[in-house]
Structure 1
Amino acid sequence: MLAIAGGKGGVGKTTTVLGLSTALDAPVVAADADPDMPDLHALAGVDRTPTLAAVREHDVPTVAQPHPDDSAVTLLPAPRLGDADAVDQSLDRLARSDRRAIVDCPAGAGPDAAAPLRRADATLLVSTLCAPALRDAAKTAAMARTLDAPPVGVVLTRTRASPEAVTELLGCPVVASVPSAEPPILDDEAARAAYRQLATSFGEDIL
């Protein structure tokens, strides 16, 4: 299971989850573990329910919804607020299933963000190039290492740059730089190309 994590909200985590998921050739489950900012279902254009929480009582294929534009991708929207036990149990079942999974993590380095990292095999960081976002991403990177989901790369959004200083700060390489685009981001050919390149050079090795 791959965790998509970052220090701040709004840096492009959910877009990266969908962009990478749809760019991969292999079947994948994209799951939203962020009840505070449940964006995955809206961005993908699927129903709000059933959510990730349903996985604690049902098999993943039974409740995961098909992506409207990609039959290889299925989706699990975020649980409702206040259902922390359901999140923990569902993530545990998802991690133990035979499905390749990419999980949209809550931002920051708090307990909610730690839950998916405890189950993940690796973490892909997402950040913009602004200093506050990078500083917070460094905290998330440190937490991911502590929880045995080491960062394997960082996706920089709203830029074409890949500064060496970012690699030094976060302790992992810049594996993609996604240029700025008007929403919906994934309708932009340059953004889609960045995620295709990410999937080709990096994605399937860590899922």
Structure 2
Amino acid sequence: MLAIASGKGGCGKTTTAVGLARALAHDGHAPLVADADHEMPDLHFVADVPRTPGLPALADGDRPATVARTPVGDRDLAVVPTAGISAERVPAALDRLGQWDGPVLIDCPAGVARDAARPLRAADETLLVTSPDPQTLRDTAKTAAMARTLGAAPVGVVVIDRSVERPTDGVRLSQPTARSLLGCPVIARVPAVSDRPLGTDRVRTAYRKAARKLFKRNI
């Protein structure tokens, strides 16, 4: 299982989880993406599926195949949203995700609080999502350190990067800085698009390239 994590909310973490899952589905890998952010659940909104059933049903013992929802137009993508689950029941729900045959992506809570640690303990590795601004990078470095401590070492970072569209605007996160600060390489630079980013060709292309890199690493 791959945790999709960030040091700060609003970086594009959920969009990245859905974008990667759609890219994996496009390549025939039957992915499942699950929402472990019980306090700020918005995977159902980004993926355009009903909010229930979801993690509560998994915690009750249901199989992922019976709980997962399929977005319209994404028949090879499975989504497990969350609603009405207590933090204490999240680990039991995540344990059930191991029954899924394809790749599993977990949309984690942002930051380094206890809620963010729970899905990292269940994951095998972590994909970080960040913008290149200094404060967000500092927060992401803390998340990277926590993931490593919990046995889900970061395998790479997706940078939601305004400079992809406007190279003179802002600071880019270089590969040497990513390896030094976060302990992993930049997997993809995704243009920062405010309106329907997953409907933008350049964004979809960036996530497809990222998904193929990750799949080659046996994620």
Scaled to the shorter chain, the TM-score interval is over 0.9
Counterpart residue type for residue 70 of structure 1: D
Q: Supply the distance in 2 between the matched residues of 1:99 and 1:52 (Cα, whole angstroms).
A: 18
Counterpart residue type for residue 43 of structure 1: V
2:188 is aligned with 1:176: yes
Q: Is the 8 A contact 2:91 2:122 kept in 1?
A: no
Q: Supply the distance in 1 between the matched residues of 2:215 and 2:83 (Cα, whole angstroms).
A: 26
Q: State the Cα distance separating 1:69 from its structure 2 match.
A: 2.1
Q: Is the 8 A contact 1:151 1:172 kept in 2?
A: yes
- Residue 86 of structure 1 is matched in structure 2 by 89
Q: Supply the distance in 1 between the matched residues of 2:142 and 2:129 (Cα, whole angstroms).
A: 12
- Residue 190 of structure 1 is matched in structure 2 by 202
**For this pair of structures, how many residues does the alignment match?**
206
- Residue 73 of structure 1 is matched in structure 2 by 77
Runs of at least 5 residues in structure 2 that lack an aligned partner in the other structure: 165-171
- Residue 112 of structure 2 is matched in structure 1 by 109
Pair 1:202–1:91, CA change in 2 (3 A):
same
Q: State the Cα distance separating 1:52 from its structure 2 match.
A: 1.6
Q: State the Cα distance separating 1:188 from its structure 2 match.
A: 0.8
- Residue 9 of structure 1 is matched in structure 2 by 9
Q: Pick from 129, 133, 142: which aligns with 2:132?
A: 129
Deviates more, 1:156-165 or 1:132-141: 156-165
Q: Is the 8 A contact 1:32 1:104 kept in 2?
A: yes
Q: Supply the distance in 2 between the matched residues of 1:69 and 1:138 (Cα, whole angstroms).
A: 36
Q: Supply the distance in 2 between the matched residues of 1:40 and 1:17 (Cα, whole angstroms).
A: 9
% identical equivalent positions = 48
Runs of at least 5 residues in structure 1 that lack an aligned partner in the other structure: none
Q: Is the 8 A contact 2:3 2:119 kept in 1?
A: yes
2:110 is aligned with 1:98: no
* Pairing 1:137-176 to 2, within 5 Å after superposition: 137-159=140-162, 160=164, 161-163=172-174, 164-176=176-188
Q: State the Cα distance separating 1:96 from its structure 2 match.
A: 5.0
**4+ residue runs of structure 1 moved beyond 4 angstroms?**
none
What TM-score comes out, normalization by structure 2 length? 0.89
* Pairing 1:15-26 to 2, within 5 Å after superposition: 15-24=15-24, 25=27, 26=29
Counterpart residue type for residue 121 of structure 1: D
What TM-score comes out, normalization by structure 1 length? 0.94
Q: Supply the distance in 2 between the matched residues of 1:46 and 1:194 (Cα, whole angstroms).
A: 23
RMSD: 1.4
2:110 counterpart SS class: coil
